Amino acid sequence: MRKGIIFKGKLLPLILMLPQLAITGIFFFWPAGQAIWSSLLREDAFGLNRDFVGLENFAEVLADPTWREAAQNTAVFALSVAVLALSAALLLAVQADKAIRGSGLYKTLLIWPYAVAPAIAAVLWLFLFHPQIGLIGRALNAAQIAWDYRLNGGQAMLLVIIASAWKQVSYNFIFFLAGLQSIPRAVLEAASIDGARPVRRFWTIIFPLLSPTSFFLLTVNLVYAFFDTFGVIHALTQGGPAKATETLIYKVYVDGVENLNLGASAAQSVILMIIVIAMTAVQFRFIERKVHY
């Protein structure tokens, strides 16, 4: 690894960095600052009147039961998506890692959902679970299990969890497989000589070796469930019924874009930024270790 700095000059590197810095400044830092500023204002929808109200928006958001409900939904949703997507991916990866015929084909058939946009994944699952036109939705209703995710909050939550996790399984699968393949064969063979049964062998030897990957994936999955699933919720339930699937991100959108309460929406944005910074700090500790690895 090299450490020396090679070229002299001050202007050229700045020019090279300019595009990145300009975009970062204009589209990240400027709006982030604006978010903080407008979280302190109260504005009408058309942007014709504005008042400085200090921290009032924050006080209102934090006292708002619907915001707390959204926070709770977010926790349930994010944890469910992460657990479901991770466990399914781990199971599949362990199987695909075995030397069996057709494992290459299996791999291809298991990674393609990664390419499907979350919103499209939602649409695909809607075709299965729509109460009137969906295969499973109709079957459930025919079996006297009243299924309508547009009215039943629990069912709506289940559906957005499934659609979101489905897409993320592929991503986790790729990493688990890479993690498994990096475990030295000798370790596995030694374990199998010990006569440990496969299931025990997995939990006592393989799983601990995968824990860095698992931890990394857990944070990635939580971040995914936090942000990237906006499309799933928007396409499937619009946060309903009765706000049952409204996550914090979705609420920012509803309050800011649909209800045009700009101050409240900005205050929620700022709160989210604080949450994200905390989450990124956790993730960063891991990346940093990787960097020095």
Partner 1 sequence: MLRRTLARSAAALTTAALVANRRAVAQGAPVELQFWHGLTQPLGGMLEQIAADFNNSQQRYRINATYRGGYAETMVAAIAAFRASNAPNIVQMFEVGTATMMAATRATKPVWELLQQTGVNINFDDVLPGIRGYYSLPDGRMASMPFNSSTAVAFYNKDMFRKGGLDPEAFPKTWQAVAEAARKLKAAGIAAPMTTSWPTWLMVEQFSAIHDIPLASKGNGFGGLDAELTINNPLMVRHMQNLIDWHKEGLFRYGGRDNAADGLLPSGECAFTFASSGTRARILKEAKFEWGTAMLPYYDDAPNAPLNSIIGGASLWAMNKGPGAGRSEAEWKGVAEFFAWLAKPEVAAKWHTDTGYLPLTRSGYEQVKATGFYKQNVGADVPIEQMLRGGGVLTENSRGIRLGGFPEIRNIIQEEMERAFQGQQDARTLLENATRRGNVVLRNFERANRA
Partner 2 sequence: MAGALVKERGAAADPALRASRARQRRDRWMTHGILLLGVIIFALPIWITLVGSTHDVNTIGRGEVPLWFGGHAVENYVAAWSRGGEAVRNTRAVPAGIMLWNSLVMATLIATGKIIISLLSAYAVVFFSFPGRMAFFWMIFITLMLPVEVRIIPTFQVMVDLHLTDTMAGLVIPVVASATATLLFRQFFLTIPDEYAEAAKIDGAGPLRFFWDVVLPLSRTNIAALFVILFIYGWNQYLWPLLIITDTGLETIVVGLSKMIGRGDAQNEWNAIMATAILALLPPVAVVVLMQRWFVKGLTETEK
| All residues at 6 or more sequence positions from 275 whose CB lies less than 8 Å from its CB, including other chains | 248
Taking the complex as a whole, how short is the minimal distance between the CB of residue 59 and partner 2, in angstroms?
Answer: 19
Among 138, 150, 201, 234, binds partner 1 (CB under 8 A): 150
C-beta contacts of 203-208 below 8 A and 24+ residues apart? 206/94, 206/180
Among 120, 158, 183, 205, binds partner 2 (CB under 8 A): 120
55's contact among partner 2, partner 1, none, with CB below 5 to 8 A by partner kind, is none
Among 202, 260, 279, 283, binds partner 1 (CB under 8 A): 260
Among 132, 143, 145, 292, binds partner 2 (CB under 8 A): 132
Nearer to partner 2, 26 or 55 (CB): 26
- Applying CB under 8 A, does 72 fall inside the site for partner 1? no
Q: In the structure encoding, which two tokens stand for residue 275, read together?
A: 């949450």
Among 259, 273, 282, 285, binds partner 2 (CB under 8 A): 273
Among 28, 258, 280, 289, binds partner 1 (CB under 8 A): 258
- Applying CB under 8 A, does 16 fall inside the site for partner 1? no
C-beta contacts of 120-127 below 8 A and 24+ residues apart? 121/163, 121/164, 121/166, 121/167, 121/232, 122/160, 122/163, 122/164, 122/231, 122/232, 122/233, 122/235, 122/236, 123/235, 124/163, 125/159, 125/162, 125/163, 125/166, 125/236, 126/163, 126/235, 126/236
Nearer to partner 1, 145 or 186 (CB): 145
122's contact among partner 2, partner 1, none, with CB below 5 to 8 A by partner kind, is partner 2
58 and 267 Cβ atoms separated by less than 8 Å: yes
Tell me which residues in 70-99 interact with partner 2 (CB under 8 A): 88, 91-92, 95-96, 98
| All residues at 6 or more sequence positions from 269 whose CB lies less than 8 Å from its CB, including other chains | 35, 39, 252, 256
Rounded CA separation 67/50 (Å): 24
Taking the complex as a whole, how short is the minimal distance between the CB of residue 208 and partner 2, in angstroms?
Answer: 20
Binding interface with partner 1 (CB under 8 A): 22, 26, 30, 42-49, 51, 66, 132, 150-153, 240-243, 257-261
